[in-house]
Amino acid sequence: MRVAVVQMNSVDDVAANLAAASKWVSQAADQGAALVALPENFAFLRREGLPIPCAQSLDGEIVGALREWASRHRIWIVGGSFHEAVPGDARVRNTCVAIAPGGDVAAVYRKIHLFDVDLRAQGGQAYRESERVVPGEELASFDTPFGVVGLSICYDVRFPELYRGLAARGARFLCVPAAFARETGRDHWEVLLRARAIENQCFVLAPAQCGEHPGGRTTYGRSLIVDPWGLVLARAADRPGPVLAECFLEEQDRIRAALPALQHRRLPG
């Protein structure tokens, strides 16, 4: 099957970001992608430390746009993430919604691991995602005709137990939409993604934000599609747009049969 990851340079303008995402999703669908994945915060990338003015429910404009695109193009869409309103709480959730080709919601994942780090010594910024975001608590995956797809978001990639849990659910594909910091991305992005692919013998789809954003924030980009052997099938250039790759499930089956590591695990949990 053919998949696409969309690299974006989102800003703090929902209408502009939705227009850009719609264009890139259409382009990927026209090139034959059966599944298209968008990056973290694809519809709104805030200035660090500022409030989030556009939090929405699952019935809001952002999820409505995802449903319309999936239905129009008859494709699966992994909607990166958006800021989901939490009733009774000033904070939000960082939420990924997967949409089936008919426009129905297939899965909802709320980011579990929040990005509270200080990269100023590396020339970056300090981030306190937990000040504005409520962490999720549950894994999420969904079934498709081409296998189970597991969901995660950005900083989750540093926690391999999450992906092992998704592999235990039968995942063939792992999605990692991200807005990876430039300072960590240079040394960690590809290494971590290829490791998650190898240890779980899954295809990894990693759409990312790239470039300069409002408020001086810079994201690494280099969106990737990785195969279950850890080989990079597609890598985005340093600009917005979709990249596509063919994922051969029979090759994944051969890898898992020849090196049945998923069956050899003996540690509990």
Catalytic positions, written as ranges: 40, 111, 154
Q: Residues 96, 81: contact at Cβ < 8 Å?
A: yes
What is the Cα–Cα distance from 23 to 213, expressed in whole angstroms? Answer: 20
Angle at 211 between CA 23 and CA 40, to 5 degrees: 60
Phi, psi (rounded to 5 degrees) for 189:
-55, -60
Three-state DSSP class for 139?
coil
Looking up tokens 């240890």, which residue turns up?
199
Instruction: Please give the span between the terminal C-alpha atoms of the chain, in angstroms, as a whole number.
Output: 32
Q: Spell out the residues 6+ positions from residue 201 whose beta carbon is closer than 8 angstroms to its own.
A: 167, 228, 252, 255, 256, 259, 261, 262
Helices (H), the chain: 14-30, 61-73, 160-168, 182-184, 190-200, 249-258, 261-264
**Tokens representing residue 31 in the block:** 């090139």
Query: In terms of DSSP bridges, do strands 82-86 and 76-78 run parallel, antiparallel, or are they unpaired?
Result: unpaired
